[in-house]
Amino acid sequence: MRSMNRRHFLAAGSLGLAAPFVASGLARPAFADEFVNVLSGGTSGVYYPLGVALAKIYGDKIPGVRTQVQATKASVENLNLLQQGKGEIAFALGDSVKFAWDGNEEAGFKAKLDKLRGIAAIYPNYIQIVASQESGIKTLADLKGKALSVGAAKSGTELNARAILNAAGLSYEDLGRVEYLPFGESVELMKNRQLDATLQSAGLGVASIRDLGTSLPIQMVAVPADIIAKIGSPYVAKPIPAGTYEGQAEDVPTAAVINFLVTREGVSDEIGYQMTKQLFDNLPDMVAAHKAASGIVLAEAAKDMPVPLHPGAERYYKEAGIL
């Protein structure tokens, strides 16, 4: 079982240099000692570039706040780090957030993560299963006996993989080999003909699958609506539009799960307010970082939150007229 243990740090506003943090703006006493660590995901996914953009926005727009973005194994690790006080805001999948609040040990949470607080529902993650054409995989049933990467162990992506396979009547034992790899490493193995398929839970246009599609002929594997219905909420049916990836001529039915930005108890009401406000005030910068952010909609941001809203976020949504 392999996982990405290395941590990558990037200072907001200094995209070419690694550093613990950078101070931005004019110091204001209320924020002089405030630090915001943005917990993202693997560098080849969608969370990371959006995390970089968010850290830069906060560093530029919240006077006196220092920011940092941290690459992680994404949802499950991010939520555990928040509970431990090792981050101020994190990206996470909706089902992972619910499991964390419930204290689902099988999902990677040894106890209820009771310090989690919600900032915003953002864009949907699409369950994107891509196989090499030469593997012969065209349907979920064709994964039997094949080598599949399901994301880092107990990551949000891996929880999605278990749910999809289970609903399709498959288990890891039915596969020829299971790899627990980040997106980029999965793609490299596929390029080298050492892996048949990869399941990646990410925003549309994720860099890893774009890279794969330009390197070899690929087959997007559909997740039919009846499979999604077996799983139920928070999974919904959504298509991957034609042309999203090289060689993808038609829409591909699949499942989607909403992502959330989550903070923790102990982050001040004012910082929680500013983190929420600056996200929505600077959405074009987020979209410029990755087009998945075009799915972030203010009117939907406070809906179906799996954890209590942070008081600062609640204040912002009341001012915005959506609560």
Residue with tokens 């943090």: 21
Residue 136 gets the label, from left (phi > 0), alpha (psi -120 to 50) or beta, of left
The rounded distance, in Å, linking the Cα atoms of 41 and 113 is 19
- Nearest to residue 1, comparing CAs of 104, 155, 141? 155
Q: Which pLDDT score, from 0 to 100, does residue 240 have?
A: 98
pTM of this prediction exceeds 0.75: yes
Q: Which domains does the chain have, with CATH numbers?
A: 9-124+259-320 (3.40.190.10), 125-257 (3.40.190.10)
Candidate from 27-36, 91-100, 257-266 with smallest mean pLDDT = 27-36
- How sure is the predictor about 33, in pLDDT bands with cuts at 50, 70 and 90? confident
The CA angle 33-317-46, to the nearest 5 degrees, is 70
DSSP characters over 121-156: EEEEEEEEEEEEGGGT--SGGGGTTSEEE--STTSH
Q: pLDDT, tens digit, for every residue of 273-293?
A: 999 999 999 999 999 999 999
pLDDT digits (tens, 9 = 90+) for 124-140: 999 999 999 999 999 99
Least confident of 30-34, 36-40, 163-167, 268-272: 30-34
What are the start-end ranges of the H helices in the chain?
47-61, 75-83, 94-102, 156-167, 183-191, 207-213, 225-231, 269-281, 283-289, 311-320
* Mean pLDDT for the stretch of residues 138-167: 95
Reported confidence tier of residue 32, pLDDT bands at 50, 70, 90: low
| 254 token code pair | 């699949």
51: pLDDT strictly greater than 80: yes
Q: What is the pLDDT of residues 235-256, one digit of tens each?
A: 999 999 999 999 899 999 999 9
- Confidence category of residue 222, pLDDT binned at 50, 70, 90: very high
Q: What is the pLDDT of residues 171-207, one digit of tens each?
A: 999 999 999 999 999 999 999 999 999 999 999 999 9
CA gap 259, 122 in Å, rounded:
5
Q: Is 15 exposed, middle or buried (0-12, 13-18, 19+ CB in 10 A)?
A: exposed
pLDDT for residue 305 is more than 70: yes
pLDDT score recorded for residue 153: 87
